[in-house]
Structure 1
Amino acid sequence: DMNRIVTDYYSKILPPERQGEVAHRYVLGLYRCMKELTERFPEILFEGCAAGGNRFDLGILSYFPQIWASDDTDALCRAEIQTGYSYGYPMSVVSAHVSSCPNHQTLRMTPLETRFQVAAFGICGYECNFCDMKKEDFDAVKAQIALYKEWRKVLQTGSFYRGRNFSDQGSVLGSSAGNIQEWTCVSEDREKAVGFLMQKLVSPNTQFEYYRPNGLNPEARYRFYNRSLKYNVKEFGDLVNTVAPVHIRQDSVAHNLIAKFVKMDGEAEDFCAYGDALMYAGVKLKQAFGGTGYNEQIRHFPDFASRMYFMEQMND
C-alpha cells in the first residue's frame, strides 16, 4: 500500500523507467529508518500513521506495534471502521480514542459510554479536554479507565468475533444498512469474554433485542452480566412531567437542578447459563423503553446507544 502511494507520487516527477526503482528504494529506506529508531530507542512506543494515506501497512507493523486507525473518531463510523480492520488485523494493533462531542468531523452527538465501548475494543485512549469536562463525565471516564484496565488482557489479546454488523447491507451511513453491531472478545482459555452491542437508530415499538456471543466454551457455565449505569433525567425530555408534582420547564433552573441530583437507574442483566445456550439461543435483553413507563427493569437505549456485557466462567 505504501509502495502504491509512493509510486503515485514519483509518477508525477520522474520518467517511467525510473519510477518503480526509486519508489522501492524509498520504502526500503523508510523501513530502515524505523528499524534504526526502534532499536536505538526501545523504550519509546511508536505509533504508525499514514497521514491520510492507506494507514495499515504490514511492513510498518514490523516496527510500530500499533497504528492510528482513522482521524474519524465518531463512534458510529468507528464501529464500522474497526469491524473492517478486524478482517485483516488483530484489535491489539488498532488505536482507538474517545473524543469530544459534537464530533470534530461529523458533528454527531453520541453517548460518552458508547464512545468508550467502541474504543475499548482497540487500544483505548482519550483525546478530550478534561479541564472543560463536567464532573459527572469526568467521574464516568475514571470508571471507564478502571474497567478497561480490568478487562484489557481479554480485549487486547483475546479472540475477536463479529456478529451482526452495520455493514450487512451497505455502509453504516446508508439507509439500507443494518441497525445493530455485535462484537465478542474471548480470552485464550475461554474463561472470560466481553460482549458489545450497539444500535444505530431507534425504531418505534422495537423494544425487544438480543445479544448472541461467539467463541465460548459450550460446556462451561458462565455468569453473564452488565454494568449498572445511571442516566440523566434530561434525556427523557418533557416526560419528566408525567411524574413531577409540579410542571418542569425544559432547560429551566429547576430542570437543571433536578438533573444534578436525580439520576435514572439503568437495567441490570445478571444470570448464569451454559456457553452453548448463550451462543446458540442468545440472550433476550431487558425490554427497551417504548414510550410509556420507565424503571430499573427498562433498557435505556436511544440512538447510538450501546452496551458492554461480561461473561465469566463459573467453577462450581
Structure 2
Amino acid sequence: QPYRENRKGRGGTQQVLDLSNPAVQEFVFGVVDRLMTAHPDIAYIKWDDNMTLYNYGSTFLPADRQSHLYIEYHRGMDKVLRRIREKYPRLVMQSCASGGGRVNYGVLPYYDEFWTSDNTDALQRIYMQWGVSNFYPAVAMASHVSASPNHQTGRNVPLKLRFDVAMSGRLGLELQPSKMTGKEKEFARRAIADYKEIRPIVQQGDLYRLISPYDKTGYASLMYVAPEKDRAVWFVYKLEHFLNMPSPAFRMAGLDPGKRYRITELNVDGKPVPQDGKTFSGAFLMENGLEFTVGKEYASRVLELKAVE
C-alpha cells in the first residue's frame, strides 16, 4: 500500500495476501493446484496461518467497504478452500495456528484436522484437550507425541504418558527415530498398532467426561464409546503424586448395563492392571467401577473394552 510502512510478521518475511481480491484467490488456488498436478501422490498438506493483519486495509475493496475486510477475507478463503476440496477430495489438510483464529467452524468443512497448539507437553495437553473437546470432535483434534524434554516447557514426561494422552485425539508423532532407543521404538510400534485398532472408537464414538482435571482430584479420566455400545476405550491420567496417594474407584459411563465387557490394557509398560483379560458387566463398570493403582509420577492407563457373548 502506497505511503504506508510495510510491517511483516514472523521472521520478518510474512505478509497476508488479500483474499477479498478474486485475483488473489485465483493465485492461492493455483499454488495448490500446480503442486498437486505436478505431484499427485501428495497425501497431506499442513496449512499454516501464522500472520495477523498488520497492514489493515484492502486496495481491492472500495472505501465504504473497508470495515468489511475480515468478512470478505473469510469469504475469499472459503471460495479457495471449496475449490481445493472439490478438486482434491482425498487430500488430507491440517489447519494450523489455533492462536491465529484458524480453529473455527467456518473452516472445518474443508480441513481434516487442526493443530491444537504448539504446546505439546503431555501434562498440559490433558487440560488443553479437555477444554478443546468441549467444542471440537476428536477426529479433528491433532494430538501429537513429541520429544522429551518438551521443546516449550522443558518437562521430561515418560513416552507412555505422551502416547496415552495423544491417543485420546487424532494421534500423530513429532519424534526423530534416530534419537529414540530400541525400547522406545518398540513401545511406539505397539502403541501405533493399538491406536489403529481403537481409532474408529476415539474418532467416531461418543465422548464421556468422567473426572475433570480441573476438579483437583489428582486424576483426569474420559472415555469414548462406540454408538453400538459394543466397544469402548477408557483413559486415566495421574496429575499429582503424593506418598500413599489413594486411587478412586474409576467408574465408567455410556456402556450397556446388560452387556459384559472384556478388559484389555493397551500401551502396557510394566505390569498390567489386575482386571486385564477379565470380564465385567456394564452395570458393574458404571456403578462400582474398577480399583487399581495407576502408577507413580506422570502415570496413566488406557483400557479397551469389548462386549462378549
State TM-score, norm by structure 2.
0.76
Q: 1:95 maps to what in 2?
A: 142
In the alignment, which of 119, 130, 137 is matched to residue 72 of structure 1?
119
Task: Determine helix, strand or coil for the equivalent of 2:197.
Answer: helix
CA–CA distance in structure 2, aligned partners of residues 95 and 219 of structure 1:
35
Q: Which amino acid aligns with 1:45?
A: V
Query: Is the contact between residue 225 and residue 268 of structure 1 (CA under 8 Å) also seen in structure 2?
Result: no
SS at match of 1:46: strand
Distance 2:176 2:267 in 1: 26
d(CA) in 2 for partners of 1:230 and 1:115? 13
2:306 maps to which of 286, 290, 312:
312
2:153 alignment partner, one of 75, 89, 106: 106
Shift, 1:203, TM fit: 1.2
SS of 1:211's equivalent in the other structure is coil
Could you tell me which of 197, 200, 204 is aligned with 2:243? 204
**Counterparts in 2 of 1:137 and 1:268: CA distance versus 1, 3 Å:** farther
Matched to 1:72, the amino acid is N
TM alignment of 1:86-165, pairs within 5 A:
86-165=133-212
| Offset, 1:273 | 1.6
8 Å contact kept, 2:249–2:288: no
CA shift for structure 1 position 230:
3.9
Size of the alignment, in residue pairs?
A: 256
Distance 1:207 1:33 in 2: 54
User: Could you tell me which residue of structure 2 aligns to residue 187 of structure 1?
Assistant: 226
- 1-structure distance, mates of 2:287, 2:224: 17
Q: Distance in 1 between matches of 2:96 and 2:89?
A: 19
Does 1:273 pair with 2:268? no
What's the % identity of the aligned pairs?
A: 31
For structure 2, the residue ranges without an aligned partner over 5 or more in a row are 1-48
* Counterpart secondary structure, 2:77: helix
> Cα–Cα, structure 1 residues 16 and 214, in superposed 2: closer, same or farther, change >3 Å?
farther
Task: Please give the secondary structure, in 2, of the residue aligned with 1:52.
Answer: helix
Give the letter aligned to residue 195 of structure 1: W
**Kept in 2: contact 1:227–1:268 (CA 8 A):** no
Post-superposition offset of 1:162: 0.7
> For residues 81 and 33 of structure 1, what CA distance do their matches in structure 2 show?
30
Is the partner of 1:303 in helix, strand or coil?
coil
2:191–2:266 Cα contact (<8 Å) kept:
no
Equivalent residue, structure 2, for 1:60: 107
What amino acid does structure 1 have at the position aligned with 2:225? V
- Aligned positions of 1:45-56 closer than 5 A: 45-50=92-97, 52-56=99-103
Distance 1:305 1:19, change over 3 A: farther
CA contact (8 A) 2:141 2:170 kept: yes
Matched-pair contact (CA < 8 Å) for 1:226–1:268: no
| 8 Å CA contact 1:49, 1:67 repeated in 2 | yes
Q: CA deviation at 1:186?
A: 0.5
Q: In the alignment, is the contact (CA less than 8 A) between 1:55 and 1:69 conserved in 2? A: no
Deviation at 1:51, TM superposition (A): 6.0
Whichever residue aligns with residue 194 of structure 1, its letter is V
Distance 1:276 1:46, change over 3 A: same
1:184-214 superposed Cα distances (whole Å, 9 cap, x missing partner): 1111100011100000121111243332211
Q: CA deviation at 1:229?
A: 3.0
Q: Structure 1: which amino acid aligns with 2:247?
A: F
Counterparts of 1:34-53 in structure 2 under 5 Å? 34-50=81-97, 52-53=99-100
Provide the C-alpha distance between the structure 2 equivalents of 1:88 and 1:59, rounded to a whole number of angstroms.
13
Q: Which runs of 5+ in 1 are unaligned?
A: 169-176, 232-264, 289-298
In 1, Cα distance between equivalents of 2:231 and 2:297 = 29
Whether the 8 Å CA contact 1:198–1:307 is kept in 2: the answer is yes
How far 1:154 sits from its partner (Å)?
Answer: 1.1
Q: Distance in 1 between matches of 2:105 and 2:156?
A: 34
Q: How far off its partner does 1:94 sit?
A: 0.5
Question: Taking structure 1 as reference, are residues 51 and 184 closer, same or farther at Cα in structure 2, changes over 3 Å only?
Answer: closer
> Which has the higher relative contact order, 1 or 2, with Cα contacts under 8 A spaced 6 or more apart?
1
